[in-house]
């Protein structure tokens, strides 16, 4: 559990750095909200593309080797930020993010179900909440790290008018100077990921296997309605969480909201993600005493109310109601995940692949919210996350009661 929790920390840290990259790249390349949200679209689309192959990789080489493969791929993706910043070119940044996310997809597809089945099914949600708390520790520290080394190290961003007045040579020099602050942090992260891959490869993790029934596994996951509805739940949850975090820095810098610089606004992300960390540590304890469905429904309902209040208010009220959403986001992912794979037996690997594919919501929903922000303003574009949380309430109340066709081969655990 301790070793696997380290992996959750690593991917949480790297995922949250996207929230720092978004305002930085928006300024460097003079992008609108819809264009800069391609950062999240490229990153989270990789989950959809690579999730099913990741499930196959787990079947071929096992959980441990899949984790090592994921970490090595992530290290390559981090190193690709160096040429992307040297040129600099926005498409190359997107390419680096795709490679980084491909490795993260393998890591998530293996680590999430590994934790869920590493013990009694009754406490699976509690275990996954505990490891997800370390994921949130990474997302809490990343804004501090990113605002200091990336946004803080860059020169004060110029206005759109000043950038548009530059010659081609001046514009290139400005972009090179601003993008250079990305290099050192991602080189350091690439080295750290490589070393972590070596450590995990040499660590003796318990071997967990399950019976193979390839003839049935090929298409039977779609018969499990709880799993399919849970995949939609993961889609909308990740989409809402990422959309809020992605636009929070720009949202807080607005005159009627926080009226602060981007670097200052970015520091508030630590409270959003820190709330998720606190909630997950608390959730690991709560979920041993409260039914997962009840906690999930209450959390999603409160999150919807908080986002609505942020849209209806201004100043610090709008800021802190949105920040508090992080606390109630905390237990949603592990709760939906464990509820969705419950009773899948030998289909657990394939079911996990489907749920990880649903993380593509982090690509689609932020992009749609970016389009909304360009058309109706960033303040009211948060209507989309409210609708996402409404679906999660439905899943907790009705979706988890859906009939499930159980796999014919029982889950086997070898420790």
For the stretch 282-312, pLDDT in tens is 887 887 888 889 999 999 999 999 999 999 9
Q: Mean pLDDT for the chain?
A: 84
Q: What is the pLDDT confidence band of residue 408, given thresholds at 50, 70 and 90?
A: very low
Is CATH 1.20.120.1200 the right assignment for the domain spanning 2-401?
no
User: What is the model's pTM?
Assistant: 0.73
pLDDT at 159: 67
Closest CA to 59 of 331, 361, 371, 348: 348
Residues in the chain: 415
Q: What is the pLDDT confidence band of residue 211, given thresholds at 50, 70 and 90?
A: very low
pLDDT digits over 155-207, tens only?
A: 666 666 787 788 888 888 888 888 888 898 999 999 999 999 999 888 887 76
pLDDT digits over 40-69, tens only?
A: 899 989 888 888 788 788 878 888 888 899
């Amino acid at each position: 559990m301790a070793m696997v929790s380290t992996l959750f920390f690593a991917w949480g840290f790297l995922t949250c750095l996207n929230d720092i990259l978004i305002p930085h790249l928006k300024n460097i390349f003079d992008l609108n909200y819809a264009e800069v949200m391609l950062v999240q679209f490229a990153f989270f689309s990789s989950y959809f593309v690579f999730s099913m192959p990741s499930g196959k990789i787990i079947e071929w080489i096992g959980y441990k080797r899949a984790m090592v493969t994921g970490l090595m791929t992530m290290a390559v993706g981090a190193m690709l930020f160096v040429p992307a910043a040297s040129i600099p070119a926005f498409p190359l940044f997107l390419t680096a993010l795709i490679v980084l996310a491909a490795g993260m997809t393998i890591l998530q597809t293996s680590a999430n179900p590994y934790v869920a089945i590493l013990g009694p099914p009754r406490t699976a949600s509690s275990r996954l909440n505990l490891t997800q708390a370390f994921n949130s520790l990474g997302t809490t520290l990343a804004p501090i790290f990113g605002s200091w080394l990336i946004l803080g190290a860059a020169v004060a961003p110029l206005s759109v008018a000043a950038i548009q007045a530059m010659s081609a040579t001046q514009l290139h020099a400005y972009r090179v100077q601003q993008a250079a602050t990305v290099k050192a942090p991602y080189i350091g992260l690439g080295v750290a990921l490589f070393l972590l891959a070596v450590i995990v490869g040499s660590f003796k993790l318990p071997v967990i296997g399950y019976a193979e029934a390839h003839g049935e596994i090929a298409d039977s996951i779609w018969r499990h309605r709880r799993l399919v509805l849970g995949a939609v739940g993961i889609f909308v949850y990740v989409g809402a969480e990422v959309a809020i975090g992605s636009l929070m820095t720009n949202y807080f810098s607005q005159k009627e909201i926080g009226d602060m610089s981007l670097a200052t606004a970015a520091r508030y992300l630590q409270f959003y993600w820190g709330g998720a960390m606190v909630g997950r540590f608390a959730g690991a304890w709560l979920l041993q005493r409260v039914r997962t469905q009840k906690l999930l429904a209450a959390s999603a309902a409160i999150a919807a109310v908080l986002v609505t209040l942020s849209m209806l208010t201004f100043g610090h009220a709008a800021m802190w109601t949105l920040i508090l959403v992080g606390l109630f986001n905390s237990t949603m992912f592990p709760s939906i995940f464990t509820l969705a794979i419950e009773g899948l037996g030998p289909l657990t690997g394939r079911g996990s692949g489907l749920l990880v594919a649903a993380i593509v919501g982090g690509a689609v929903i932020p992009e749609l919210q970016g389009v909304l922000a360009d058309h109706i303003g960033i303040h009211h574009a948060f209507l989309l996350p409210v609708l996402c949380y409404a679906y999660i309430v439905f899943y907790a109340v009705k979706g988890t009661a859906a009939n499930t066709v159980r796999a014919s081969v029982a889950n086997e655990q070898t420790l």
